[in-house]
Amino acid sequence: MLGPEAGPVRSAQGPAALADVAYRDARRPDIVLVPGGIGTRVLVAETEFTRWLGEWAASAEVVTSVCTGSGVLAAAGLLDGYRATSNKRAFAWARAQGPQVDWVPEARWVEDRDRWTSSGVAAGIDMALALIARLHGDALARAIADGVEHEWHRDSTWDPFAAKNGLAPGP
């Protein structure tokens, strides 16, 4: 977990998460995961942060996001020239962060080369399991899904929320 400084980082809702390492001290990553949430609206406007993120994450083996974290990746230029998705209720906002991104409105998650983006939180769990399967095999991903009692949706195109939010035709 990274933050502006090591130590507690307060969320927009109040509770704090503990950042182990300050941004400036972060080693080059293998995998980057940018979460979503209301705090992403502020982060995209912090040019020092998006510049740092763009430089730091560019060499990662895999760059991922959940929910509106894709808007942060887009603002940092990390999705330019890639296909990506985001939370359906905030899709227009995410799209506005990256005009050079090929935004996919109907997708549970999108894998495009070394970039993986998901819709909402549950879709992020499915995406993470798909990534684990890609990196470490299907058996491990299935065991993790079973261990947390999660019904894993393996079809990245299964997205009933796109239609519910006016981003795709209804049934």
Closest CA to 44 of 101, 94, 82: 94
Is the distance from CB of 85 to CB of 107 less than 8 angstroms?
Answer: yes
Instruction: Indicate the residue type of 55.
Output: E
Please give the full DSSP string across 83-95, using - where no structure is assigned: EE---GGGHHHHH
State how beta strands 62-65 and 31-34 pair. parallel
Beta strands of the chain (E only): which ranges? 2-3, 7-10, 16-19, 21-22, 31-34, 62-65, 83-84, 102-103, 109-112, 115-118
| Greatest extent of the chain over all pairs of C-alpha atoms, in Å | 49
Catalytic site residues? 67
Please give the full DSSP string across 38-76, using - where no structure is assigned: TTHHHHTT-HHHHHHHHHHHTT-SEEEE-TTHHHHHHHT
